Structures are given as structure tokens and as C-alpha cells.
Amino acid sequence: MAESYPTRAPFDDEDADIIFRSADGVDFRLHKVIVSKLSPILRDMLAAPPPPDVEGVPILDVTEDARTLEHVFRLCYPVEHPDITTVDDLQAVLQVACKYDMAAVAANVRRIAKRILPREPLRVYALAYMLEIEDAARDAALLLRDEPYFYMPISPPPEFTLLPAVAVYAVHVYLRKCMDAALRVLDDTDWILNDDHTRGMMPLPTTTPNAGPGGEQDAPPSWPWVWMVPTTINGSDAHAPWCTVGPTLLRVLPSGAMYPTRQWWCNYMWSLRNALHMRPSGQTVRGHLATCADILHQAASCAACMPGVYADLTLFNTLLAAKIDQAVAQVQLDLPFGKAQNAPGETGRT
């Protein structure tokens, strides 16, 4: 009596005309007309299938296990897609897609990779690099901007045994370029009073205030930012004694008028610089207020700054983060594969 092998639903059709048998002995009863559309390699294999077994259906023994085959076939057949949640499963499916040149599977798995990315960007990057999947490698590198010590994980991923050193170097160079782009935006403060946003359109004194200790200036209807409120207003001290003027001046264009800022805001900008040096992304700016309790306490202890400090810094962070995201998006990860190396329309080996 012929040995019996288990089948796995939904790939157990009685009218199947080809059986894929996994390395661990599970049969997948499929249809040649569908399988041949999935891969030119499989199409050629099915053109001269092995002899039929006793049931009259050809059996194709493959080296992949049943779990991987089920994931692959679920991505191809009109059935519920697999719930792939680990990099190990992702890697197994992608290797099959590459082995058999299954473009449709690779495209579906790339979408799945985006769901796994936030949890394991390093492993996804390593896998995408080794399999030359350009878009997945770039997506992973974006998330590695928030992992300054990505190359020193507590437990090295298994891909590190095969990943070339140049792959890690490419991310180092990319992160350095992102940092340079982010810091250029931070250092160019002209946008604060001149860009087309609500605070950039507010009225300012038409004469240049004294750049000495805060200037002595009658207040306009409202200062654009709380850190610009001058030291004295109408001859009276506006700020607490400890709320001094810092070294940073903000410029109005095209007049070139310069306006002093408070020391606590300068300290905030310095802390932003340090943070962006480690994590060059807009997300760093958006979450920075939560790391600056001392600076916020100092500003809130001044009667002139307290009313607007949190609202102004929140708006400032939103505007700055958008500008940094825009600048960093222009930085490209240099890869030895992908669009720059291939003919138009190609994106690396599949």
C-alpha cells in the first residue's frame, strides 16, 4: 500500500493536477495553470513534470518545509493571506520568492515587511540587503535613524553572520548624511520669522532693537514667540532676574533686523542639536519636550515666558520637525544594487 501523506487546507483539492510535497512530508494539491503563472521557473519545471504517483497526479518534491510553502501559496492563491509576523518567516518566504523568481510573492512580502519593520528594522535591513530588495532596505534604514547604536545590539541577529561589513557601513554613512541635513535645518533660523506660517507673518518692531541685554523696546501687539519678549517693556522689567538673554539672534528679512532671544530657548536649541546628532529625524523633535523638564521649568518660572512657553515650543517643534523630515527625505542610502545599478524599471534581484 502506498505511503500516505497529510495535506493542508485549503490546498487539498481533489481535482488538483500537481502535488508539491514539502521537506517535512506535507502535500499541497495545486493546479498547474495557477502555479505556472506564478513563476517562470516553476512553469518550466511543470512542462516536464515527474511521473504520476499511484493516484495519477505528479508529485514535485521540494526542499522547503510545509510552513513556508503554506505562506507562499497563500500569497498566490485567492485565499486568506498568511499572518506573517516574524523575520524568520519573512526570510523563508523571501528566499522562496527569490529562488523561483516569484515576483508577485516578493511584492506581497514587501508589504508584510512594512508591518514587521517597526519591531525589527535591523533584521529587515540585513535581510533586504542580502536579498537585494531595494525598497525594503531603504524603508528599514529610515527607522534605523532612531537607533544610534544599531550596529551593537545586545544580541546580534543571525543575519550578522552573513551580512557584509559594507552593509553596516552604508547605514553609518547614511545616518551621518541625515544628521548633517537635520543640523543644517536647525542652524538656519531665518525660517522662524520669515516662512509662511502663522508666527512668521506677525508684526514686529520696524527698528532693530538693542542687541544688548534683551533690548528696551515697547511691545508690539504680540510677539511671535515667547522667547522674543524683550527684557524691559515701557521701562519695566518684563522677565524674572534669572531669565536672561542668550546669544542667539533671530533675523527678519529683507530688512536684516535682529532680535534677541531668551537663554532658556538657546539651551533648548542646544539640547535639540545633541538629540539630532544621535537621532536625525523629525520624530526626535516632536518628542523632545518630554526630555527637557529642567528647561521648561526654568521658562515657566518667569512670568513673561510662562503663559506661552508650552504652546510656542509645541508649535515650533511641529514646524521644525516637518522641515527636518523634508530635508532628511532627500538623503539617499547608497546601495550596490537597485535602481541606480539596474535598467529602468528594475529594482534589484527578485
Do 171 and 141 touch, CB atoms closer than 8 A?
A: yes
User: Does the pLDDT of residue 343 top 80, yes or no?
Assistant: no
Residue 206 pLDDT grade (very low, low, confident, very high; cuts 50, 70, 90)? very low
pLDDT score at 234:
66
Determine which of 228-242, 301-315, 317-331 has the lowest per-residue pLDDT on average.
228-242
User: Does the pLDDT of residue 269 top 90, yes or no?
Assistant: yes
Q: Average per-residue pLDDT in the chain?
A: 87
Those residues whose C-beta lies under 8 Å from the C-beta of residue 299, and which sit 6 or more positions away, are 226, 227, 243, 262, 264, 265, 305, 306, 309
For the chain, domains (ranges, CATH) are 1-116 (3.30.710.10), 191-328 (no CATH)
The predicted-structure confidence for 148-200, as pLDDT tens digits, reads as follows 999 999 999 999 999 999 999 999 999 999 999 999 999 999 999 999 888 87
Please compute the mean of the pLDDT values over residues 235-248 and round it to a whole number.
87
pLDDT score at 51:
75
Tell me the pairing of strands 7-12 and 27-30.
parallel
Please compute the mean of the pLDDT values over residues 108-120 and round it to a whole number.
88
Alpha carbons 314 and 303: distance in angstroms, whole number: 19
Please compute the mean of the pLDDT values over residues 277-304 and round it to a whole number.
95
Residue 205 pLDDT grade (very low, low, confident, very high; cuts 50, 70, 90)? low
Those residues whose C-beta lies under 8 Å from the C-beta of residue 341, and which sit 6 or more positions away, are 335, 348
Supply the DSSP symbol for 80: P
Measured in degrees and rounded to the nearest 5, phi and psi for residue 304 equal -75, -30
pLDDT score at 4:
62
pLDDT score at 182:
98
| Three-state secondary structure call for residue 113 | helix
